[in-house]
Amino acid sequence: MVELGQHCEVIAEAFIGAEPKYFVPGPTPDFEYTMMTIGVGHNIDAEKKILKKYKKCSKYVGVDPTAEFNEKLVTDAGGQFMEMTVGAKDDVSAARILDKEGDHLQYRWHNVTHSSLQTTFNKANIEKAVDLLLLDVEGAEFEILESFINKPENHTTICQFNVEVHSPWTNGLYKSNIIHTLYRLSKKREFMLFNVAPAQIGHEVFNRCFFINVKDPYCVEKYYPAFLE
């Protein structure tokens, strides 16, 4: 929660699925929004809770490189599924993809075609804004966050986003630059780090981070008008 003076506040609600995901709703109950999950990962429990509580979702899109485990989850929730691998740019490179081995699901490395965030938004026909982005891309978040700093002016607006940041030391030593990336992202004065929920699984530490856009007029007026008071 961010308090502004004595009379106004901005509160993020937590929706618990496989992990907590946060959303600052509009100040009126009938607000419309768009939502996109990149990296479905065989679980959209938190997203379903958001959709159930806030029913005026004009578009929900789930994106994942594996349709077999994820497409029906998204379409059953009333969303659009896109089978894609998302990265910082349009290229062909290695990515961790969820595969089925017998009765088990396991992440494995594959060389695949990546689509940038903007390409993904374009293919989803989301032009103006993604109100809530849920990003879990198994290590690609380091480069994607870096791309937020130097994004072009015509980039689709992102109002709020949850991102799972994996341990930088188990994803290549150069990824330890994540601290510098977060500093530069804050210095740009566009996205504010609102909440961090750390979790440890085995030897790896994950930081589930929630950012809000405090610069774009559409986002501020729609979700945190208290900032304007």
Residue 41 — φ and ψ, nearest 5°? 60, 30
pTM (predicted TM-score): 0.85
Among 91, 86, 108, smallest CA distance to 37 is for: 86
Domain ranges of the chain: 2-84+117-228
Who has greater pLDDT, 178 or 225?
A: 225
Beta-bridged to residue 97, according to DSSP, are 108
Q: How far apart are CA 88 and CA 145, in angstroms?
A: 8
Considering the domain 2-84+117-228 in this protein, what is its CATH number? 3.40.50.150
Task: Give a three-class secondary structure readout of 139-208.
Answer: CCHHHHHHHHHCCCCCCCEEEEEEEEECCHHHCCHHHHHHHHHHHHHHHCCCEEEEEEEEEEECCEEEEE
Q: How far apart are CA 196 and CA 207, in angstroms?
A: 6
Residue 125: left if φ>0, alpha if ψ -120 to 50, beta else—which one?
A: left
pLDDT for 60 beyond 90: yes
Alpha-carbon separation of residue 175 from 78, 108, 170, 185, 229 (angstroms) = 36, 20, 9, 15, 39
Q: How far apart are CA 148 and CA 151, in angstroms?
A: 5
- Model confidence at 63, pLDDT cuts 50, 70, 90, reads very high
Percent of the chain clearing pLDDT 90 (strictly above)? 43
Q: In the prediction, which pLDDT does 87 show? A: 82
Q: In the prediction, which pLDDT does 138 show? A: 72
Query: What is the CA angle 74-107-161, rounded to 5?
Result: 50
Q: What is the secondary structure of 17-83 as a DSSP string?
A: SSSEEEE---SSTT--EEEEEE--TT--HHHHHHHHHS--EEEEEEEES-HHHHHHHHHHTT-EEEE
Model pLDDT for residues 188-219, shown as the tens digit of each residue: 889 999 998 877 776 677 788 999 999 999 99
Model pLDDT for residues 123-165, shown as the tens digit of each residue: 999 988 999 999 988 777 888 888 888 776 678 999 999 998 8
